[in-house]
Structure 1
Amino acid sequence: MKKIFWTVLLLVISQWAIGQKTIAKTYKNLDINAEFIADTLAIDSNIKKALTYSIHEDSLAQALFKKSLSTAYRLQSQEQIAKVFFEMGIYFYNNFEYFEAIKSFNKAMPLFENSKQEKELAKLNYYLGQAYYYVYSEDSAFKYFSRALNLYRKGKNTGGEAWCYNGIGTIYGSKNYKVGLKYLNKALAIYLEENDVKGATSAYINLGNIISDNVSFKEGLPYYEKAIAALAIQKSDYNLAIVYNNIGDCYINEKNYVKALFYFEKALETSNRMDVKNLNGLIYLNIADVKLKQNNLDEAIIYSNLSLEHAKKNNDMVIQANNILNFSNIYEAKKDYKKALVFKNDYISIKNRALVYEEQKKMQLFQSINELERSQLEIINLKNKNENTHLKLQSKMNLMYFLIFISIILTVFVVILVIQQKTKKRYYDLLNSKSEQVNTLKDKIQVKNDYLNELNTTKDKLFKIIAHDLRNPLSSIEAFTDLMLQEEDAYDEEDQTAFLHAIKESAMKASLILNDVLAWAINQDSSLVKQRVYLHKIVDEELKLLEVLALQKQITIQNLIHERLSVITDKNKVTTIVRNLVANAIKFSHLEGKITVQAELVDNFIKISVHDSGVGIATNELQALFTADNKKSKFGTQNEKGTGLGLLLCKDFVEKLGGTIAVESTLNVGSSFSFTLPFTDVTPE
């Protein structure tokens, strides 16, 4: 008994002692002496050396960063700790490890904010924007670019503003190229005024890409040439290889294969000078494409094989698929149709694997971003815990009395447990005789528990879908609103109109999601209200509501259900099911398409079917249509948007009504969604 008491007391006191660790301080609260300065110089030296290592020597770099962190924590300096985390993020950023970079930047963020280092905070937000852009999270990138822009403006740092304009312009390049060009030209003007060669090079490359893609190659070429001239001074082989490759791509579109080949060979020569030749697969593929178009079939095979070798080494499924397609086209040109067909089938197979791989990468991206956001939240929580620890130091004696009191309570608790243990022994024989009954009940409980776990898993998946789909529109609204709240003369009327359209579109998307969630939530609590329902009349009423959508696409909808056919069921739920299925049919039908709604009696069930002649659904996608795993909503034939929750609602409602839901579809031919309702002719009282 005494051993238990002293063990518990020792554990509690040790936890209190650990909590007394002093939190990091800012420079103004530290004693800056010669020893402190020597330690900070050692930190700078270790960081400088770590940044010289490549990603292949990561263990050496991390050892130096760890040593720097240890010194910074010993100094208890927030500024030094933040600096180490920031430079660690720069190391990962320069080596293309963007997720690791984001983790390190997020660890530095609260420390920079607490020490009010606005200059460093602006730079940190800019690098976070760049890192999120490179992992294809453009909404998050836009948010951090906007924050960095505000901080740079506040500090009157025009060079920093230019880099933010460059990042925002690049994001707009794929959405609204005119707005993107406006931001990039703002950045270029500042770069040229300040003789920033690196910045001007980046702006020239981005302007060349956007103008070549959206206006004409002829107008984009001068920007590429200016970028090449600047890169000759800057000596960046990676960017130079990309520019040469982009020019070659443009000459292919111009059908000037000689010049295209010239620039691809220059890109290859530049790429071969780099330690990591991650561009070679793409360049070899482009050269093979030129050789095929020049009818140099044997050379095309050689370059496709080289490209395929690099693509396999880098696990690049897209380039692998394009090379297999190249082989099919080459052998078709050689009139070896048998080999061409084999490669065509291989292309289809690897293309499907590539699509699955891309979906997995998107899921990994989503999970990684969530993990990063959780890490950031944990950092904030740790900061709050440190502040609480600081407050505990001021009430040390009170805490000691409290711990003694807790120890006494724990001792009493242990005594009670011993007494209870003796009482349990007296009932052991009785419990043993009842064990068989308990086991039977346990089995029943386990069955119900499995069912509840399955429902809980589906609910969790659904809420993850809702959280994921709501994040993008809400982030867009936050970012655009933040921009519009800046100085009145910062953006012209065209910019503000574009922002308002984006805010409206994001708000409408969020509203659609919330409407579907509300319908699902109401269904969970509401009971069935059964009455006689005439199916022809219900379908007619819903078709009138959807008539405008159908007229916009000149779609003909026929209601072939007999006017006298009725069923005893819940009218509201049937109405919701019909509305969702017909709306989906309209969404995925082509102009002047045809939709039919019909019903038939099958084994004491009424089967209602909605047929369309639309785009159809791939076989490998059918099984996931009615599950929470299918969280992506596809665009309609005219880019109509949805929430991805409609079919989940339909399945939930149909099963509550005692029926089943099914789908049959042929790609590019059409789809048929059907559901069943129990048929009875007895009207409820």
Structure 2
Amino acid sequence: MNLGLIKLHKLMGLFRGCIVLCIFFNGILYSIKAQDSNRDTLINEIEQIKLSANFNSKDTVYINSLLELANRYRFHYLDSLKILSEKSLELSKNASYINGEINSYHALGGFYSDKGRIDQAIEYFSKAYKLADKYDDHLLKAGILNDLAKEYGYKGEYSKALKWYLATIEIAEKYDYKNIISIVNDNIAHLYLEQKDYEQAMVFLQKSKSIHEEIGNPIFLAETLSNIASTYADMNELDYAMYNINISIATFEKEKILEWLAYCYEIKGKIYLKKNKNTWALYWYKQSELLHEEIEDDRAKIDLLNGMTEAYLNLEKDSIAEIHALNAFNLSKKIGLRLGIKNSAQKLSKIFKNKKDFEKSLWYHEIYQATYESLSAISNEKALSMLKTRVAYDQQKKQLILDNEKALAKQKIYIYVFIVILFIFAIITFLIHRNEQAQKKLNQQLRHKKTALEEKQAYLNELNQTKNKLFSIIGHDLRGPIGAFQGLLKLFKEGEMTKEEFLNFVPKLKVDIDTISFTLNNLLSWGQTQMNGSITKHSVTNLDSIVEENIALLSEIAESKSISLVNRIEPNCQIWSDPNQIDIIIRNLLSNALKFTPNNGQIVIGAIQKIKTCEIYVKDNGMGMSEDIISKLFEKDSNHTTYGTNNEKGTGLGLSLCKEMVEKNNGKIWVHSAIGKGSSFYFTIPRIQKQYKESA
């Protein structure tokens, strides 16, 4: 390649990159505009309420609109969230509107949480909870308790966090608040993730996923799937992580939820970082960074900055890594996140060591060491506290069960009396309806016998049809070639045909005998499936070896028509199937392709390995088929047969047999074809997959 072509290739690459970035920026701008539009609409509604003739600041509709607007500013304009929440709190107190007070305290707790002022967040969440508890608003209580527990988790007091999470679940289960149960399961999973107990975390995440799938809310499901993806990444199950994060990204891009989309892009960057694909990791980290310019979520931004630092370090770009590590360190100090301080200090120590600035390297290492020891000690206490809390909670439940049993014991006398009355009533009822029940039993027996006779008749009819089809094929497709062969032998034996003339017929005789053999094999296999005599025995099957054997078997036919057989099956392609049945399927599909492909044609057989299945295809550039023929190909009772390009003939059994055997191996078969353009047959078979032990 000359220098001009190289430059042109690079320019084209840059052009494509610019197009991709333009598309992404347009998507982000559209999303931001959509959210701004929603807020503007709500602001206009509030202004309309204020301008109405009978406006009163104590109007609950007005207060609720202020609260809704305040919550929409979260993750975008935190100061506006605080101002509007304080205003709604003041108005709610003046109007004695309890719901408004509770939601205002709750919103202010969210503001202080996002600012990293945990104690103030706990104070406001506690005020909201006390009011909700006083007025017995169970839904608000559950939501507030969840946020309160989360704050104790940020603070490192896992015992209190788990206590409030369990209390939340108790309320949610009692009143069937499924969304809240799933959210709490996600949050409890995060407690275990902090201790690197990934298996236990995954148990709670899978519970949450099951609930969301039952409810059918795609946004909540995507939130849980993104947490599952992050956990799989920490477990180095990177294929599963990528699968789950791509589903989440698609949902959040569609719904334009920026804060969750930023988190998902950061997780995707982490997955590529785990794969040692640092350039791709940085690409997704930067997409997340762009979104963080529009939202306020410092906790998530710290993980993003640390991830970018690690990627730049791997690419040996220490100066850029240093900028991101310092930003992460300062932001962690600002909101008091010790885990962020530890991670960023460790990276800064390494960066300054590389720069030969050993004084700063030692200083950051000492910060890292002190934070690490603090977290380690706290982690041990956390683990013990969590265990004690769970045990105490279980004991409380057992005590409640015992109390209930005592209360039930007092009612047993009444229950026994009631049972005696019911027993007497049952005897009377039995005597009255005895004759009627006997009659019903007789009628039921007659119906069963009638059903059994009808089933036997259907089975005999099916056997009769199978017999008729076998005799039809034997009489029509086997008797002809065999009769021709006998006639030639008779002519040769009686001297009416010379040896040279007989030898001229040998190639045709061989084709006829091969056709008879192939037809007999198909008949035997089909007959066994129809007579319930064919048993599918699954085992680990090497697909490539089966394909190679069939290509060798059919190579002579292919050579006679100058058709090239191309095998694109990978040598390590293994499937879970009955090897004998797969052999019959491959042979029939290749034989059909050879039959309908003209001289000098090409047949390709290959496989696409997916997560759970292997999709196998046989493609030819032959005659092709009309839609009418395709619709009848796989019918069980179809006798349809077509002559090949060299007048080859079949029984019409091959594709029906293929369909039955593919389905016995838990797969599906289909075809794409057009007249004059060839045909492509596809079928799927389960793959061999790594088994994962699920945590209790």
TM-score, normalised with respect to structure 1: 0.42
Higher RCO structure, 1 or 2 (CA under 8 Å, sep 6+): 1
Q: Which has the larger radius of gyration?
A: 2
TM-score, normalised with respect to structure 2: 0.41
